[in-house]
Amino acid sequence: MQVLRADYALLPSGVARDVQIHVQDRQIVAVATGGAHAVNEIAIDGLVLPGMANVHSHAFQRAMAGLAEWDAGGRDNFWSWREAMYRFAERLDPQSQLAIARFLYVEMLKAGYTAVGEFHYLHNRPGGAPYAPAASMMEAIAQAAQETGIALTLLPTLYMQGGVDGRALNERQKRFGKSVSELLDMRTAMRDKTGVAQIGLALHSLRAVPPPAMREAIQSVEPTSPLHIHAAEQTGEIEEAQATLNARPVEWLLNEMHADQRWCLVHSTHINDAETASLAKSGAAAGLCPTTEGNLGDGIFPLEAYLASHGRLAIGGDSHVSVDPAEELKALEYSQRLTLRRRNVGASASEAHTAARLWSLAALGGAQALGLGAGAIVAGARADLVVIDTDHISLAGREDTALLDSYIFVAGKSAVRDVMVGGTWVVGDGRHALELEAAAAYRAAVTRILSD
């Protein structure tokens, strides 16, 4: 057993001092404040946080971050970005997938993410021919997770059509296409792979999966399986859904799929008041990706109303223009401030500190969305912990919750010192054992891709 004694720790009740955390067999088995010192106790000079889940990752997009920052005559939007992404995806193979994901997962761990949900739809060769074995690209993701130590919830993604109206996949989209049976076979092959902590199911979107196939896939997986879907990211998607299904996307998912705590509705950006209240009531998590949503010009999620209705939230890096949970939470809060023209929108009557409330909610909601028993420093939770360096220059003179405020809103990932995943330290003193090797392989892979 490891007995950690932290100067500070974020507990469900808030930031506490002198906290003992007992870790055994990958779990937290006891938490106490104060008390007698234990033999072989490990002193943690810093602020300990529950690990953060990155619930929405397209790992391959890390390598194209920054490559679509130009405008073709004032017409650039999400859909033009998507075409650039499709072109980039055509250049990838399992070897480059491994190099990109491994480097990204090292980055995530060093930034304070302890788990990742890989929303994986890059299944086939360019043009649609399958790999042999069919799950080769997913196997690369699992290998990257195993080598780096991050907790992976693999989300094999169903992608069958080019729009809500049922039109066929275009030539570039054929790389993503699988039937329900093909996807489920691949999912079965990945279930017990080393590196896969949990396996769920993703339905790309209402644009890409017809309702009968959606129902068939859901009914074919375990009743506890995490279920993820892109929803209401763009107004164009809403218009398509209304024209074909006579309902808005989130409205349809709540009413027809009965989305509940198993579900993570990624983005949910353009939801009306009724959908906001219903989504909160459902127990599903809203998977928010603020830096990507800002980069793509998606829009702003109605956070204040959602939290007022006790909605559950999680955060994701999505296209990985940022790899930093602090930056995601800061971007989320700042978008609300700009919209409402006031400060500390994410705070509440019970928690006046925005950073503490948002980190606690996102950590717990993220663990729920990925099907991992983590997200809080409590007995029985998975031992996923992040240590913030309270000697960081931007935290000088701070105490208690002010430390967390300055980490989220000022220092960010530069203040992350140590990271534990499932009871094992994977980052120490800001370093990961694989970082140099992973960076070299990533650099070589990306250079090769961009030279083709």
CA-CA distances (angstroms) from residue 71 to 62, 74, 81, 432? 20, 6, 10, 37
| HSE, side-chain direction, 13 A CA sphere, residue 415 | 27
Kindly compute the dihedral angle of the four CA atoms of residues 295, 296, 298, 299, in this order, to the nearest 10 degrees: 20
Q: Which of 228, 267, 320, 432 is catalytic?
A: 267
Which pair of tokens denotes residue 413?
């990932």
DSSP string, 318-379: BT-S---HHHHHHHHHHHHHHHHT-S-TT--SS---HHHHHHHHHHHHHHHHTT-S-SSSST
Environment class of 84 (CB within 10 Å of its CB; exposed 0-12, middle 13-18, buried 19+): middle
Which of 191, 152, 155 shows the shortest CA–CA distance to 426?
A: 152
Which pair of tokens denotes residue 361?
């909610």
Q: What angle do CA 310, 364, 101 make, to 5 degrees?
A: 130
Q: Which of 56, 228, 230, 318 is catalytic?
A: 318
SS (H, E, C) 273-319: HHHHHHHHHHCCEEEECHHHHHHHCCCCCCHHHHHHCCCEEEECCEC
Q: Which residues of 267-279 are buried (b: 16+ CB within 10 A; e: fewer)?
A: bbbbbeeebbbbb
User: Is 267 in the active site?
Assistant: yes
Environment class of 293 (CB within 10 Å of its CB; exposed 0-12, middle 13-18, buried 19+): buried
Alpha-carbon gap, residue 102 to 445, rounded angstroms: 12
Q: Which amino acid is at 257?
A: M
Query: Please, which residues bridge with residue 113 across strands?
Result: 52
Strand 52-57 to 42-50 pairing: unpaired
Query: Please, which residues bridge with residue 27 across strands?
Result: 24, 382
Q: Are 23 and 7 in contact (CB under 8 A)?
A: no
The residues assigned a catalytic role are 267, 318
